[in-house]
Amino acid sequence: MKGLFITFEGTEGSGKSTQITLLAERLRATGRIVRTLREPGGTPIGEEIRHTLKHSEANHAMTSETELLLMNASRAQLVREIIRPALAEGETILCDRFYHSTLAYQGYGRQLDLEQVRHIIDFAVGETQPDLTLLLNVSVQVSEQRRQARQALLFPREKNPNKPAAPLPFDETLRDRMEEADRSFFERVEKGYEAIAANEPERVRLIDATQSLEQVRDSIWNAVSPLVC
């Protein structure tokens, strides 16, 4: 069985994690070996970099250039340690973000030179390209609403001290430096994703993530099934 590499993209709160879980279950039901990964992260080295980028209290002075290089350091390790060997064994990889995130966030969002960003990405990934990229699209306004709702889950005791906190994954309870950017940053990211989808229509499939969970799930399967069946 040929390996399959599918990446998920989108702004904060687009529902990538939920849809990756649903797609992994459906693909496993077809007999495929499925591995789910995330960026930055996915390896012991990458997870250390992820903490530095997103959660560390020492990252407030991080420059955009440092952010770009750290993102791609994590990516270079993930590609060589996990992705390439898994694809060679015929596994299906579902990755929460890949290099399109860097184009959108560090290129368009941080306004770094796009050609330099592409050169650094090329060095990190080489010939390792996704077979399909699913871009879960929500507006900046919807993204903000979902991020605010998620933040409200983190500290429910501040409003109701008698109400127990809902369990969340460990790093979801930590400060996220990327979410601290202002609205203009996320507006640039949104425009970046729009440009990416327009420039790569054969690889990047736009999914309306404001639909119901089931509708998004079905839209994703419609995009993925030709590669599986």
Q: For residue 42, what are the contacts with CB-CB under 8 A and spacing of at least 6?
A: 74, 78, 82, 95
> Is 180 exposed, middle or buried, given 0-12, 13-18 or 19+ CB atoms closer than 10 A?
exposed
Confidence of residue 103 (pLDDT cuts 50, 70, 90): very high
C-alpha 193/C-alpha 74 separation (Å) is: 21
Domains and CATH numbers, the chain: 4-228 (3.40.50.300)
C-alpha 73/C-alpha 152 separation (Å) is: 33
**pLDDT for position 159:** 45
- Across residues 94-112, what is the average pLDDT? 98
C-alpha 62/C-alpha 41 separation (Å) is: 18
Tens digit of each residue's pLDDT (9 = 90 or more) over 178-203 = 888 899 999 999 999 999 999 999 99
Alpha helices for the chain (secondary structure H)? 16-29, 44-50, 64-78, 84-88, 99-102, 114-125, 140-154, 183-199, 213-228
Residue 133 vs residues 5, 112, 147, 183, 220: alpha-carbon distances, Å:
9, 23, 23, 25, 10
**pLDDT for position 138:** 83
Confidence of residue 214 (pLDDT cuts 50, 70, 90): very high
User: If you count DSSP H runs as helices and E runs as strands, how many of each does the chain have, helices first?
Assistant: 9, 5
Confidence of residue 163 (pLDDT cuts 50, 70, 90): very low
Tens digit of each residue's pLDDT (9 = 90 or more) over 11-49 = 887 889 999 999 999 999 999 999 999 999 999 999 999
Tens digit of each residue's pLDDT (9 = 90 or more) over 45-102 = 999 999 999 999 999 999 999 999 999 999 999 999 999 999 999 999 999 999 999 9
Three-state secondary structure call for residue 6: strand
Paired tokens of 115: 């050609």
Instruction: Say what the pTM is.
Output: 0.88
